[in-house]
Chain A
Amino acid sequence: MGLEWMVLALIGYMVVAALIAVEASDLLSSVIALGAAGFGLSIINLLLGAPDLALTQVVVEIISVVLLVRVVLTRRDTSVQTHRGALRTAVVMLGGGLILAAAFFAFGGLTGGAGPEAVPPFGQPVLVHKAGDPVPPGAAAAYVEGAVKQTGSANAVMAIVLDYRGYDTMGEAAIIFIAIMGVYTILRRVGRSKPHAPPGKEQTP
């Protein structure tokens, strides 16, 4: 039970850090608050039994904060505090939040995950299958049972990422590849004249 309170407090800390990041009047403070939220997420991952994610999240957080600081440090901007119709967006967001919360309660939040379409309650994932449950245990149970025997990997997460769902991972690697190519393409100097290029070619815009 202590762990749940700790997770709750850390999510609250993340919400506060996110609010500061969104509302801060200085871009550098905003970026640093984002880093605080990310480290909170890393600790939550560690508490929830996901050390792989905690490890990845810490380093990703450091690199993304460095990237964003690289942007905001040398570029002063006076237009941080401008909003687009702040009251209207706040009302819209409040309505959206109420609808989301209502939908969440409707989908088995209070009934303890009774229906087959319900989100499972906290602490009882789909993996846990009791006799007489309407929800079948799903693929995760088979993965956990067969991971060691079928793939020889002690780490079930790696067994899923690279063996059971290797095709999926290839698509995700392709996404990373395309995004990095996009960075190169956007930052490439356009109109850079090549010395050995024929003179007629580079005039086309």
Chain B
Amino acid sequence: MGITIYLLTFLLLLVAVYGIVAKKNIVKIIVSLAILDYALNLLLVLVGYRTGGKAPILSPGQSTEQFVSSAVDPLPQAMVLTSIVIGLSIMALMVAMALRLHEKYGTFDMEHIRRLKG
């Protein structure tokens, strides 16, 4: 069961890599990179999950022993939290590059852009 979940996440990652490798449209490549980001974040969160676990937030009146025995792993979540926002700003950077390229060449097609270059 758990293996199936991990393998589906790997499949998501491979779909993203396929999009990056096989597509020639810049917007498609940006979309594929975003999906790659999702797959990696999802893998990290899955690794930190504990069966029947609760969110790692101490509710009022809960003792520390209960908290330790029920919380999921907060470390991957801390990593992913910053990674999500970094993904958004990197996407803004890529979108800016795509706009500039479209302004200069009038197309999103990598083939045309490369042909004009050389």
Direct contact of A and B (CB under 8 A): yes
Cα–Cα, bound, A149→B67 (Å): 12
Whether A79 and B108, one on each chain, are in contact in the complex, defined by CB atoms closer than 8 angstroms, is yes
Known A22-B28, A31-B27, A144-B74: A93·B80 in contact at CB below 8 Å: no
Q: Interface on chain A toward B: helix, strand, loop, or mixed SS?
A: helix
How many B residues, CB 8 Å from partner?
Answer: 82
Q: Provide 14 A-B residue pairs closer than 8 Å at the C-beta atoms, listed in order of the A residue.
A: A4-B5, A7-B5, A8-B1, A22-B28, A50-B77, A51-B57, A53-B45, A82-B109, A104-B10, A125-B72, A144-B67, A154-B57, A183-B92, A187-B96
B interface list, Cβ under 8 A from A: 1-12, 14-19, 21-25, 27-28, 30-32, 34-35, 38, 41-42, 45-51, 53-59, 64, 67-68, 71-75, 77-78, 80-82, 84-93, 95-100, 102, 107-109, 111-112
A interface list, Cβ under 8 A from B: 4, 7-8, 11-12, 14-15, 18-19, 21-22, 27, 30-31, 34, 37-38, 41, 44-45, 48-53, 56-57, 60, 63-64, 67-68, 70-72, 75, 77, 79-80, 82-86, 89-90, 92-93, 96-97, 100-101, 104-105, 109-110, 119-128, 139-141, 143-145, 147-149, 154-157, 159-161, 165, 169, 172, 175-176, 179-180, 182-183, 186-187
